[in-house]
């Protein structure tokens, strides 16, 4: 899988731990993980990702560690809106 499509995991509940995205993923569609809950760690986005769609991780609860984005990535509007990352700009 190279793309996580729009709305793919929207409103998912019961995630545990952090979220690590595989090295083959290149893009996230609009609101791919919108309003997901249960995370208890960080979000690891590999350097292969080039596009993070609008609202992709908006309102995700529990993603609380720092977030580092790949050096070349286009980030859509409100992609991380209302997330609790320690050092997201």
State pLDDT tens for residues 25-73.
999 999 999 999 888 888 888 999 999 999 999 998 888 777 878 889 9
Strand partners for 75? 52
Q: How confident is the model at residue 1 (pLDDT cuts 50, 70, 90)?
A: low
What is the structure's pLDDT at 28? Answer: 96
* pTM listed for this prediction: 0.87
4 neighbors 25 (Cβ within 8 angstroms): yes
Q: What number of CA atoms fall less than 13 Å from residue 74's CA on the CB side?
A: 10
The full set of domains in the chain, from first to last, is 1-89 (3.80.10.10)
Residue 86 has pLDDT above 60, yes or no: no
């Amino acid at each position: 899988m190279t793309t996580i499509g729009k709305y793919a995991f929207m409103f998912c509940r019961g995630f545990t731990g952090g979220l690590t995205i595989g090295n083959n993923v290149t893009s996230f569609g609009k609101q791919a993980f919108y309003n997901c809950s249960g995370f208890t760690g960080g979000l690891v986005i590999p350097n292969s990702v080039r596009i993070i769609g609008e609202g992709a991780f908006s309102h995700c609860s529990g993603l609380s560690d720092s977030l580092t984005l790949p050096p070349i990535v286009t980030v859509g509007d409100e992609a991380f809106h209302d997330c609790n990352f320690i050092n997201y700009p």
